[in-house]
Amino acid sequence: MQHESAVELGVDLASKKKARLGVWFFFIYFFFYAGFVAIGVTNYELLGKKVIGEQNLAVVYGIGLIVFAVVLGIIYNWLCTRYEDALNKEETI
Amino acid sequence: MIYGVSYIAIVFFLFIVLMVLGLSFYFARKTKSASNYYAAGGQIHWATNGIAFAGDYLSAASFLGICGMIAMVGYDGFLYAVGFLAGWIVALFLVAEPMKRLGKYTFTDALNAKFKSRGITLVAAISTLVISIFYLIPQMVGAGALITPLLGFPHWVGVVLVGIIVIFIVATAGMTSTTYVQFIKGGLLIIFSTILTIYIFNNGLSLKPAIGDMEFPEYMVLDPEIEDGKIISVEGYTVQNQMEVKSIPIVKLQKGGVDRWFNLVDIDGVPKLVEMLSISENESGNKLYNGEPKENQKFYQVGHMSKIVVDGKEVDKTGPIGPFKFLSAIEGGELVRFSELKFKDNDLKVSVFYQNFTSGKDFLLPGLKYKIGKGSTPWDKIDFISLMLALFLGTAALPHILIRYYTVPSQRDARKSTILAIGAIGAFYILTLFMGLGAAVSGVFDVESSNMAAPLLARGFGIGIFSIISAIAFATILGTVSGLIIASSGAIAHDLIDNYMNKNQTDKQKVKAGKIAAFSVGILAIALGISFKGMNVSFLVGWAFAVAASANLPAILFILFWKKTTAKGVIASISTGIVTALGIILTSPTMWDRYGFDSADAIHRLENPAIISFTISVLVVYFVSLATQKDNIKRLKAES
């Protein structure tokens, strides 16, 4: 199958910096995700502890991971846009 | 399970499905006249694209599977929601930008961008085919699950119906699932799931839930006469049989020629017989539900709370309740789940579903399906880690998922629409927690198939919302299945026959080969959809994610981030990933049960293969690439 881009994106001088940022953000999220799994297998009882209001850690952590993904995505987008503005001044992206 | 047919629901359903199909064809015709699909995509607003992204991703697994699994095993189902969403992080942060830098937009293209190797074409096509088929199975199972409560047809009719419609669409018109159709589907699914969740909060919790026109069944409790541990008589019944299955004492009683199964339990020190649901199947395949034919409607939907605690006080019902109180009331209370036991009673195959009293605390923790707490074995823990790994790594490795990232005018728009998609999908997944829990405690759960939980919950609240939600889910399945069949037939006709075998086909021959491939994959999907009936669709999608993560992700990450990667390393990694993941899945306890053996006799205890298959695949691409560095030097020389 042939797959083509919708648009020609041109030269992006910020791409390396964005890729590096992506790797960093991946590891930040992975740390918290792995933390959830690690608590589950090493200290299961902790997941049952009530942490916020009447909610246990499992519920708060699970919903927290979903919300955290969105928050990280927004920050990532903001930083990437700044890099593009700074490095691609004369390029159209 | 038998459901009465509602003609209003059918009319609503047909109207919405036809509207979505009509829109598909309308936009497909429009995009044909444009230079290409992506040029049209280039003009799409990022917000529209973002919701369309969500519409693409939220397949049957998300709506039917996750809600169903939460209704059945509580928090373990929510693990899938967390993992499915976390997978987007890998896709957005690790794969999308670098892959764009490579100038390629799909895995097959990206994998072969550097090497242009026939071997990679072959294994990438096989990988696309295997993953698509694994993804197809849950969609077809979901289709069958939807059709049963809606039209009253058996599961297989739904599967065949979807198969025929999709084969027809693909073989005659070719289906271009457009952004606007996905936008409408994604948007409607989120809106109506929100409405359903509001219904749940408004309805609150009750010890005897009776939503809509449904009545709460009073479960029979009998007093047996026992001597030396054996039941000798029960008033009004004759004792037929008594046995223990997996240490649970059960008894068959007869009254008026009807056999019923009961569970012997101890209630406050007094032995009691508590009613169970039962399905018995004779050698010719005829089934009795609670001892009677299906039409007599003696088999009912289940799931309720046996204790509700609000602000430290036990109550019979809560009335309208907020989301946090809803969660804490369930956590502080006790639920009645119905757990299955399978056994043989002479020449009858019997499944009984006994009342399993589960504390709310346990229900809102992982462990009812994936045991990781007290009494768990190392295998159980490895299986849990393996599942979470597959869900995390699988999304980015699905062959079709990133294409939409490149269909808006600029990179900024691409990122913004992806983030909007993550937000919309995340919000939907939080709703699945409430919809799943709502289905668990509202007396709507069908023990024969967890996949029906959310639509049946909607059915309780009204025919309107039920038919709309079912129609959206059905249309989503049609779209997903069409896309997967097109991808699979493309892998066979274009990648394998045309590129790998170098057959110089005419355009007409190519189209014919594609149609034959689509037809064959469609038939295979129907057969698999029927044979996997009753299995939770999220669990099945978990397998597709595991195969994708093992076969594709190591290869793509090494190509993107390690210059020493060689074609032979990539080929070996993809092949090993597919073989090990498939090998572990096909010998897993669940498959052992599907083959008709005792799952306890399976040759290993692992349900989810990623922890082994992904690791092996990573090691293989690394070591084989190191061992074949000469190839890389040759390639670089040739390029310079």
Task: Classify the complex by whether its ipTM is higher than 0.90, answering yes or no.
Answer: no
A79 chain-B contacts, CB cut-off 8 A: none
Does pLDDT of B374 surpass 50?
Answer: yes
- Considering only the beta carbons, identify the residue of A5, A69, A74 that sits closest to B85: A69
On whether residue A74 sits in a domain, the answer given is yes
Tell me the pLDDT band of A3, cut-offs 50, 70 and 90.
Answer: very low
Question: In this predicted model, what pLDDT tens digit does every residue of B200-255 receive, in sequence order?
Answer: 999 999 998 877 667 788 888 999 998 888 888 999 999 998 999 988 999 999 99
Q: Considering only alpha carbons, which residue of chain A is nearest residue B103?
A: A5
The residues facing B270 across adjacent strands are: B267
Pick among B99, B327, B406, B415 to test the A interface (most A CBs inside 10 A):
B415
Judge: A33–B392 Cβ closer than 8 Å, yes or no. Answer: yes
More confident position, B634 or B208 = B208
For testing the chain B interface, which of A17, A21, A33 should be mutated: the one with the most B CBs within 10 Å?
A33
What is the pLDDT at residue B58?
83
What pLDDT, on the 0 to 100 scale, is given for residue B601?
A: 86
Closest residue in B to A68 (Cα–Cα): B86
- Residue with the two structure tokens 């199972």: B141
- Residues in A closer than 8 angstroms to B106, CB to CB, are 1, 3
Domain hosting A30: range is 26-87
First to last CA, chain A: 26
pLDDT band at B171 (very low <50, low <70, confident <90, very high): low
A36 contacts in B (CB within 8 Å)?
A: 82, 388
In this structure, of B161-170, B228-237, B286-295, B565-574, the range with the lowest mean pLDDT score is B161-170
Q: Taking the mean position of all CA atoms in its chain, how far away is CA B349? A: 27
Alpha-carbon distance values, B615 to B135, B417, B571 (Å): 22, 32, 16
Q: Residue B322 pLDDT more than 60?
A: yes
Token pair 């994959």: residue? B521
Yes or no: say if B140 and B159 are a contact pair by the CB < 8 Å rule. yes
Task: Provide the pLDDT for residue B487.
Answer: 74
- Give the dihedral sign, CA B339/B341/B345/B347: positive
- Pairwise CB contact (< 8 Å): B411 & A48: no
Closest partner residue to A19 among B101, B108, B487, by Cβ?
Answer: B101
**Contact between chains at B423 and A70 (C-beta distance less than 8 A):** yes
Q: Say if residues B512 and B579 touch (Cβ distance below 8 Å).
A: no
Give the residue on A whose Cα is nearest the Cα of B376.
A41
Band of residue B312 on the pLDDT scale cut at 50, 70, 90: confident
- Which residue of chain B comes nearest to A12, CA vs CA? B101
Average pLDDT, chain B: 84
In a domain, A73, yes or no: yes
Q: Per-residue pLDDT for B522 more than 50?
A: yes
Q: Do B388 and A66 touch (CB under 8 A)?
A: no
Write down the pLDDT at residue B172: 59
- CA distance, residue A32 to nearest chain B CA (Å): 11
Mind telling me how many Å the CA of A90 is from chain B's nearest CA? 16
Separation in Å, CA of B418 to nearest CA in chain A: 9
Convert B208-234 to b/e letters by CB count within 10 Å (16 or more is b): ebebeebeebeeeebebeeeeeebeeb
Q: Is A80 part of any domain? A: yes
B461-481 per-position pLDDT tens digit: 888 888 888 888 887 787 778
Predicted pLDDT of residue B222: 93
Residues of B in contact with A22 (CB under 8 A): 92-94, 96-98
Whose CA is closest to B435, among B477, B469, B467? Answer: B469
Q: Which residue of B has its CA nearest to A63?
A: B430
Q: Over pLDDT 70: what percentage of chain B?
A: 90
Nearest chain B residue to A32 by CA: give it: B86
What 3-state DSSP class applies to A60?
A: helix
pLDDT of residue A93: 44
Q: Which domains does chain B have, with CATH numbers?
A: 7-205+379-639 (1.20.1730.10), 221-363 (no CATH)
Q: Would you say B17 and B475 are in contact if contact means Cβ atoms under 8 Å apart?
A: yes
Task: Give pairs for B373-377: CB < 8 Å, separation 24+.
Answer: B373/A44, B373/A45, B374/A44, B377/B605
Would A17 be classed as within a structural domain?
Answer: no
Q: Give chain B positions within 8 Å (CB) of A26.
A: 89-90, 93-94
H/E element, B342:
strand B334-345
* Average pLDDT of the residues in B585-601: 87
Number of cross-chain residue pairs from A and B with Cβ atoms under 8 Å apart = 165
Contacts of B322 (CB under 8 A, 6+ apart): B201
Q: Kindly indicate the confidence band of residue A6, based on its pLDDT and cuts at 50, 70 and 90.
A: very low
Give, to the nearest 10 degrees, the angle between helix B378-397 and helix B537-551: 70
Could you tell me the pTM of the whole model? 0.87
> For chain A, how many helices (H) and strands (E)?
2, 2
Q: Do A72 and B365 touch (CB under 8 A)?
A: no
Alpha-carbon gap: A69 to the closest alpha carbon of chain B (Å): 7
Question: Is the pLDDT at B38 greater than 60, yes or no?
Answer: no
Provide the pLDDT for residue B360: 94
Interchain CB distance below 8 Å, A48 and B361: yes
Candidate from A37-41, B29-33, B327-331 with smallest mean pLDDT: B29-33
Please report residues of B whose CB lies closer than 8 A to that of A15.
97, 100-101
Give the residue from chain B lying closest to A75, CA to CA: B419
Q: Which of A30-34, A79-83, B385-389, B539-543 has the lowest mean pLDDT?
A: B539-543
pLDDT of residue B37: 38
* B534 pLDDT higher than 60: yes
- Nearest-angstrom CA–CA distance, B444 and B429: 21
Identify whether A37 is part of a domain: yes
Question: CA geometry: angle at B576 spanning B575 and B578, to 5°?
Answer: 65
User: Sorting pLDDT into bands at 50, 70 and 90, what band is B425?
Assistant: very high
Mean pLDDT of B399-403: 66
**% of chain B exceeding 90 in pLDDT:** 35
pLDDT tens string B274-303: 999 999 998 888 889 998 988 787 888 889
Structure tokens at B549: 């993560």
Q: Across the interface, which of A7, A47, A77 has its CB nearest the CB of B42?
A: A7
Cβ within 8 Å, pair B407-A6: yes
Q: Is the pLDDT of residue A70 over 70?
A: yes
Predicted local confidence at residue B35, as pLDDT: 39
pLDDT at A4 over 80: no
Mutate to test the interface with B, among A2, A3, A50, A68 (most CBs of B within 10 A): A3
User: B342 or B217: whose pLDDT is higher?
Assistant: B342
Kindly tell me if the per-residue pLDDT of B113 is higher than 90.
no
Residue B497 has what pLDDT?
Answer: 80
Closest CA–CA distance from residue B409 to any residue of chain A (Å): 6
Identify all chain A residues contacting B410, using CB atoms and an 8 Å cutoff: 7, 9, 93
Q: Which of B36, B331, B490 sits opposite A4 (nearest CB)?
A: B36
* DSSP state, residue B601: G
How many domains does chain A contain in total?
A: 1
Which of A4, A7, A43 to probe by mutation at the B interface, max B CB count within 10 Å? A7
Does the pLDDT value for residue B103 go beyond 70?
A: no
Least confident among A62-66, B398-402, B618-622: B398-402
B353: enclosing H helix or E strand: strand B348-359
pLDDT at B174 over 80: no
pLDDT at A63 over 60: yes
Is pLDDT of B98 > 80?
Answer: no
| Phi/psi of residue B465, nearest 5 degrees | -65, -35
Average pLDDT estimate for B546-568: 91
Q: Which residues have CB under 8 Å from B215's CB, separation 6+? A: none
**Euclidean distance between CA atoms A34 and B121, whole angstroms:** 34
Quick one: pLDDT at residue B162? Answer: 82
The answer to whether residue A58 is domain-embedded is yes
Q: Determine the residue of chain B that is closest to A43 in CA distance.
A: B373
| B372–A56 C-beta distance less than 8 A | no
* Residue A13, in any domain of the structure: no
Does the pLDDT at position B329 exceed 70?
A: yes
Q: Flag whether A1 is in a domain.
A: no
